[in-house]
């Protein structure tokens, strides 16, 4: 049985060969702690981290690579921005498609009485009216946080309009690009994004344990953690300069060596080509699903408003039954349930059922899509 991996929205598998090679090279041939010593292995580890930072800065077209901060995942990056901006209190605005990595930190701060926040409701198809964001702003609003593409519907949000609204009011704008980094052009300076957070292990093909936070000039906040940075060690204060201000403790240099190779793979393939490939596969999947009776597909249909994540349910089966049958009987890996995004499921009406989610990557093929469609066809005829 040929395995079909379609859980790329959780984490990509497989990775490009260059990523495995970079990980092996670091583990076997480098091995030092970056920025922590003057010896050859430490210096080479430091150069690996610099190369990773430069690669991400090129991807984002950010002039100053020190604004690229490495974190352990998107969640940590989002928390630095959210807790940093909201530290002194105030009001935040989010959408009803946010992941728990945005919702939970705000909810925790709100429960402790430190802040308030509003959730702007999106339509059942995941569409967001930018004027609803403007209407939710109060004189106390300090942060607007918004997902770029929903990890449940695959739908893109009108982030350029939201950035404009944030800019008009001088409100911090945080973009959760966990599902768009590597598969959609992402240029925070041109887009007016003040904080950009994403994972390294999804469409950038890095290993798990890698994430990025970009902070625009003038929007620096207090860090979440303090400690050794390998710089200004004589001082009891955290360095003010970036990236050290936000990178306390030993970095995941091993993972970052892999992330560098993943980002270079994306740059070489070209983000627009990656998007074109995913368009082809996504439309093939959507058309195939549309031909079957008994399947409900969620999210927008128009490619301009989506990325390569397709969510659906089969009549007569729960989403977890579908996912485990696909896994056991067909070797097809998808994810069922709520995908850490109960707000999004409430929005599209699937909080009870969850959905089956097929997440594509650049390394999937048309044959992968056809094998999924065949398996679903066989399952439907036996329900
Ligand atoms: C939209 C969105 N935001 C945030 C995250 C959190 O990413 P990580 O698990 O890398 O922290 C995810 C992960 O699936 C996501 O899809």
Q: What is the Å distance from ligand 1's center to 78 Cα?
A: 9
CATH code: domain of residue 344: 3.90.1150.10
Which ligand 1 atom sits closest to the C-alpha of 10? 14
Q: Report pLDDT for 36.
A: 87
Pocket test for ligand 1, best of 80, 148, 179 (most atoms within 8 A of CB): 179
Indicate whether 173 and 276 sit together in one domain: no
**Per-residue buried b or exposed e for 278-288, using 16+ beta carbons within 10 Å of the residue's own CB:** bbebbebbbeb
For residue 46, say if its preceding peptide bond is cis, omega within 30 degrees of 0: no
Which ligand 1 atom minimizes the distance to the CA of 201? 10
Ligand 1 centroid to Cα of residue 39, in Å, is: 37
Looking at the predicted structure, is the pLDDT value of residue 250 above 80? yes
Please, are residues 263 and 206 in contact by the beta-carbon 8 Å criterion? yes
- At 6-57, the pLDDT tens digits run 999 999 999 999 999 999 999 999 999 998 889 999 999 999 999 999 999 9
Q: Find the 101 Cα to ligand 1 centroid distance in Å.
A: 7
Model confidence at 236, in pLDDT bands (50, 70, 90)?
Answer: very high
Cα(105) to ligand 1 centroid in Å equals 14
Give, for ligand 1, the residue of 178, 197, 308 to mutate: max count of ligand atoms closer than 8 Å to Cβ. 178
pLDDT of residue 382: 84
Give residue 361's domain range. 4-15+271-381
Task: Tell me what percent of the residues of the chain surpass a pLDDT of 70.
Answer: 100
Residue 278 corresponds to which tokens in the numbers above? 């995913």
Residue 154's pLDDT is 97
In a mutational test of the pocket of ligand 1, which residue from 72, 81, 101, 342 has the highest number of ligand atoms less than 8 Å from its CB? 101
Residues 310 and 229 in one domain: no
User: Do 286 and 254 share a structural domain?
Assistant: no
CA–CA gap between residue 128 and residue 141 (Å, rounded): 19
Atom of ligand 1 nearest to the CA of 176: 3
Beta-strand relationship, 211-215 and 68-71: antiparallel
pLDDT category of residue 180 using cuts at 50, 70 and 90 = very high
Is residue 8 in contact with ligand 1, taking CB distance under 6 Å?
Answer: no
Same domain for 283 and 204, yes or no, is: no
Whole-number Å distance, alpha carbon 74 to ligand 1 midpoint, is 6
Q: Is residue 383 pLDDT above 80, yes or no?
A: no
Cβ-in-10-Å burial (0-12, 13-18, 19+) of 29 comes to exposed
In a shared domain, residues 232 and 300: no
With a 6 A CB cut-off, is 153 part of the ligand 1 pocket?
no
Ligand 1 centroid to Cα of residue 8, in Å, is 12
Angle between helices 40-60 and 253-269 (to 10 degrees): 40
Of ligand 1's listed atoms, the one at least distance from the Cα of 200 is 10
The pLDDT assigned to 352 comes to 87
Per-residue model confidence as pLDDT tens digits over 123-177: 998 999 999 999 999 999 999 999 999 999 999 999 999 999 999 999 999 999 9
Whose C-alpha lies nearest to ligand 1, atom 15?
A: 178
In the listed set 205, 234, 269, which residue is the last one of a domain according to the structure?
269
Closest Cα to atom 2, ligand 1: which residue?
A: 178
Of 238, 269, 300, which marks where a domain is finished? Answer: 269
Encode 78-88: b = buried (16+ Cβ within 10 Å), e = exposed. bbbbbbbbbee
User: Does residue 211 line the site of ligand 1, with CB under 6 A?
Assistant: yes
Domain match, 348 and 253 both: no
Q: Is the CB of 178 under 6 A from ligand 1?
A: yes
CATH number, residue 215: 3.40.640.10
How many structural domains comprise the chain?
2
242 and 357 in a single domain? The answer is: no
Quote the ligand 1 centre to 46 CA distance (angstroms). 27
3-state secondary structure the chain: CCCEECECCCCCCCCCHHHHHHHHHHHHHHCCCCCCCCCHHHHHHHHHHHHHHHHHHHHHCCCCHHHEEEECCHHHHHHHHHHHHHCCCCEEEEECCCCHHHHHHHHHHHHCCCCEEEEECCCCCCCCCHHHHHHHCCCCEEEEEEECECCCCCEECCHHHHHHHHHHHCCEEEEECCCCECCECCCHHHHCCCEEEEECCCCCCCCCCCEEEEECCCCCCCCCCCCCCCCCCCCCCCCCCCCHHHCCCCCCHHHHHHHHHHHHHHHHHCHHHHHHHHHHHHHHHHHHHHHCCCEEEECCCCHHHECCEEEEEECCCCHHHHHHHHHHHHCEECECCCCCCHHHHHHHCCCCCCCEEEECCCCCCHHHHHHHHHHHHHHHHCC
Looking at the fold, whether 237 and 178 belong to one and the same domain comes out as: yes
Sequence-distant contacts of 10-15: CB under 8 A, at least 24 apart: 10/202, 10/335, 10/339, 10/359, 11/199, 11/201, 11/202, 11/208, 12/201, 12/202, 12/203, 12/205, 12/361, 12/363, 14/363, 15/205, 15/206, 15/207, 15/258, 15/262
Report the atom number in ligand 1 closest to the C-alpha of 101. 4
Are both 224 and 306 inside the same structural domain? no
> pLDDT tens digits for 317-353?
999 999 999 999 999 999 998 999 999 999 999 998 8
In testing the pocket of ligand 1, which one of 9, 11, 12, 75 has its CB within 8 Å of the most ligand atoms? 75
Whether residue 1 is predicted with pLDDT greater than 90 in this model: the reply is: no
The answer on 226 and 329 residing in a single domain is: no
- Any atom of ligand 1 within 6 Å of the Cβ of 179: yes
Give the mean pLDDT of 99-128.
97
pTM of model > 0.95: yes
pLDDT tier, 117 (very low <50, low <70, confident <90, very high otherwise): very high
Whether 322 and 177 map to the same domain: the answer is no
* Pair of tokens at residue 343: 């707000």
């Amino acid at each position: 049985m040929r395995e079909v991996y379609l859980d790329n929205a959780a984490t990509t598998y497989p990775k490009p060969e260059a990523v495995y090679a970079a990980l092996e090279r670091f583990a076997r041939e480098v091995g030092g702690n970056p920025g922590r010593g003057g010896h050859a292995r430490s210096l080479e580890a430091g150069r690996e981290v610099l190369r990773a930072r430069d690669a991400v800065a090129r991807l984002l077209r950010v002039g100053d690579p020190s604004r690229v901060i490495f974190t352990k995942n998107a969640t940590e990056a989002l928390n630095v921005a959210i807790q940093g901006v909201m530290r002194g209190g105030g009001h935040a605005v989010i959408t009803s498609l946010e992941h728990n990595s945005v919702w939970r930190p705000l909810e925790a701060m709100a429960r402790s009485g430190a802040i308030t926040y509003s959730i702007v409701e999106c339509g059942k198809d995941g569409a967001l009216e930018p004027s609803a964001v403007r209407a939710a702003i109060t004189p106390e609003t300090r942060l607007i946080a918004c997902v770029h593409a929903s990890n449940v519907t695959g739908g893109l949000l009108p982030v350029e309009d939201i950035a404009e609204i944030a800019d008009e009011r001088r409100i911090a704008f945080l973009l959760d690009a966990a599902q768009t980094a590597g598969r959609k052009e992402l240029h925070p300076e041109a887009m007016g994004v003040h904080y950009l957070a994403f994972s390294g292990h999804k469409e950038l093909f890095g290993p798990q344990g890698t994430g990025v936070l970009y902070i625009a000039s003038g929007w620096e906040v207090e860090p979440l953690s303090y400690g050794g940075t390998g710089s200004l060690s004589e001082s009891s204060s955290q360095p003010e300069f970036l990236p050290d201000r936000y990178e306390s403790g030993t970095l995941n240099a091993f993972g970052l060596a892999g992330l560098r190779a993943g980002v270079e793979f994306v740059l070489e393939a070209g983000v627009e080509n990656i998007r074109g490939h995913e368009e082809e596969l996504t439309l093939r999947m959507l058309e195939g699903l549309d031909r079957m009776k008994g399947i409900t597909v969620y999210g927008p249909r128009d490619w301009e408003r989506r990325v390569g994540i397709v969510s659906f349910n089969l009549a007569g089966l729960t989403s977890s039954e579908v996912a485990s049958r696909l896994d056991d009987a067909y070797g097809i890996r998808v994810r069922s349930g709520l995908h850490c995004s109960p707000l999004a499921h409430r929005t599209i009406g699937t909080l009870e059922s969850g959905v089956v989610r097929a997440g594509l990557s650049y390394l999937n093929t048309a044959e992968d899509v056809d094998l999924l469609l065949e398996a679903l066809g066989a399952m439907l005829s036996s329900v």
